[in-house]
Structure 1
């Protein structure tokens, strides 16, 4: 039988327990060898009594390998195993990466620059408006928005990205064929239909158990370059995500709030501890080293300004992520002097800005 089936079968048995999975896989020569090993061969597992090992192997005995194999062939979703070339590189580098991911959508969406927006399920109107606005403007800047599809801030973030026809990714605490909460069924299919993705480390059919959500938070932050907390009480899942993000070396940001509101205590405390305060989308982009998103009322550069043929050509090659002068010369096919002249006029017209090292990014 395909080695991938044994890998996925162990993941099925130990879904959400990635550290235990890696302990077993690293001990045996292969997942297949582990699958057929005797009970005495598992006594090396740390913190488990013999009865726990017996229960583990009972679950192994009850697992239908043919059903597991069918998931690899199911065209309704993709299965990304850890050693699959499509598995996101940034997630591989966290402390306890999921051995497998189930996904609806294009696996390529899990690469590149993404920002996670997280917060309270019981967000205020202010929190919901801020989350939706930030997500919409990030999507307009072609930044992918990641959240957990929960009620409140998560839902507002996904909706904001969709409203700008941007890409948003939902990381679930249940199977990708399970809608939770139920009222987000339309949102879930909206995410997929709009070119986004739904991801989970939990196998198809897995219910939304309470312990799944803290576990999935490390995936939200692991897939992101930065985590922005909008509203959160002092003890909340959003703060768990923020602290996990710090451990993973991700940028942590927070939206300041009313000091009399309990839901502002979480982000306000994060700011006191050194998180980047977010009062506009520009703060997020600048925190990522991408410069200003755009001047809200200035239009979109060439749409409202008269640009020469060369200026239009150069401007079309510049995105919100800085690009070097050398790359612009190479891609435009223009002489260096003409590129530099075009960049000078684009700066004067407010379309682009220059960073140290002759790097340029668009502002509109």
Structure 2
């Protein structure tokens, strides 16, 4: 893309009132952004009406600065590019959705948009077990050849990206801001990792702040580019369920990990399962539903709870405590009732298991067993 074409696209998309639908109609009528801007007002009026035709004749406030900033941003790093709807490597999966973006800003490995992908989404404030599940599922599914797609949010999204990166697998983060910003700011380091070996994608111009309305729209891209959507933990009203609904409407597979009946973060997943999402307990449950052209023997199998190992050096008493905990959050009183440990011994065992990464301490003096291995 040369400077003249870039400037034309930005002017078309940033003209107030045009929007994606108006831009699509204009491009269908005139063939290119440059041709749209070169057309006579009378011709433009037949497509978008006289008011918007006049708007296209005016330079939007701040547009020249945006054009300069975008051109310089592209030139600063060869891994940065712009992908247009008509480009040969525009992902076919997005083309099949109801509202494909006309222009995408990319930073990282552009080829990943052509890989078979799975969306992994969930709560921004997950339990420790949920975070662990997201990372381990993403690690195993990435190792099986899937590109892991999520939204760079804190919580489940971040854990999914980290799991894919730890497996050396591809990961794509669709964001709700311009690519010159990172939201939330705490994910700056993760965003740099993804830009280095994965791919950051946005349909929003540079400088676009984290507006609330952008994130539900971003979710349609996460769902649209993927073969399926795995929801790890979600409340009944959450953006993750929006992504799952969009995936279902686009004909994609929807998967959900069940959780404790006492956890509000399990209710969204349980609702999806009641609506027909596949209940999954391990990565193999996901892989067997996706068209990966792979023999069953090539897909790694996940462990079952009975296979979860105790860290070397742990005693039989540690194993007995883990069995007594089950997999729901549990308090000290309940554990003492189940196992009869004195308070001092129980606290010592729990601390050792927490340091070994087998147990997480939760608010309210609760503890939860974590899956490892």
1:35 shift after superposition: 2.3
Question: Mapping of 1:189-208 within 5 angstroms?
Answer: 189-193=192-196, 195-208=197-210
Whether contact under 8 Å (2:134, 2:163) holds in the other structure is yes
Whether contact under 8 Å (2:12, 2:56) holds in the other structure is no
Provide the secondary structure at the position in 1 that maps to 2:288. Answer: helix
| Alignment correspondent of 1:223 | 225
| Alignment correspondent of 1:340 | none
1:296 shift after superposition: 5.2
Q: 1:11 to 1:228 in 2, by over 3 A?
A: same
| Alignment correspondent of 1:120 | 123
Q: Separation in 2 of the partners of 1:49 and 1:269? A: 48
**Tell me, which stretches of 5 or more residues in structure 1 are unaligned?**
298-364
Q: Separation in 1 of the partners of 2:182 and 2:152? A: 9
Q: Paired residue for 1:99, among 102, 121, 124?
A: 102
1:55 shift after superposition: 6.5
1:249 shift after superposition: 1.4
Q: Does 60-69 or 256-265 show the bigger shift?
A: 60-69
Residue 8 of structure 2 is aligned to residue 24 of structure 1: no
Whether contact under 8 Å (2:228, 2:253) holds in the other structure is yes
Q: Paired residue for 1:264, among 266, 276, 288?
A: 266
Whether contact under 8 Å (2:283, 2:302) holds in the other structure is no
Question: Mapping of 1:1-364 within 5 angstroms?
Answer: 2-3=4-5, 5-13=7-15, 17-36=19-38, 50=51, 60=60, 63-64=63-64, 67=68, 73=75, 75-76=77-78, 77-193=80-196, 195-290=197-292, 291=296, 293-295=299-301
| Alignment correspondent of 1:305 | none
Provide the secondary structure at the position in 2 that maps to 1:287. Answer: coil
Q: Separation in 2 of the partners of 1:8 and 1:136? A: 38
1:15 shift after superposition: 11
TM-score, length-scaled by structure 1: 0.72
Provide the secondary structure at the position in 2 that maps to 1:116. Answer: strand
Q: 1:71 to 1:269 in 2, by over 3 A?
A: same
1:23 shift after superposition: 3.1
Q: Deviations over 1:185-237 (max 9, x none)?
A: 111112233x2111111122221111110111111111111111111111111
| Alignment correspondent of 1:349 | none
Whether contact under 8 Å (1:231, 1:267) holds in the other structure is yes
**Tell me, which stretches of 5 or more residues in structure 2 are unaligned?**
304-373
Q: Does 219-228 or 283-292 show the bigger shift?
A: 283-292
TM-score, length-scaled by structure 2: 0.70
Q: Deviations over 1:267-312 (max 9, x none)?
A: 1111111111111100110111454732458xxxxxxxxxxxxxxx
1:59 shift after superposition: 5.8
Q: 1:8 to 1:254 in 2, by over 3 A?
A: same
Q: Separation in 1 of the partners of 2:288 and 2:145? A: 15
Q: Separation in 2 of the partners of 1:245 and 1:15? A: 29
Whether contact under 8 Å (2:16, 2:60) holds in the other structure is no
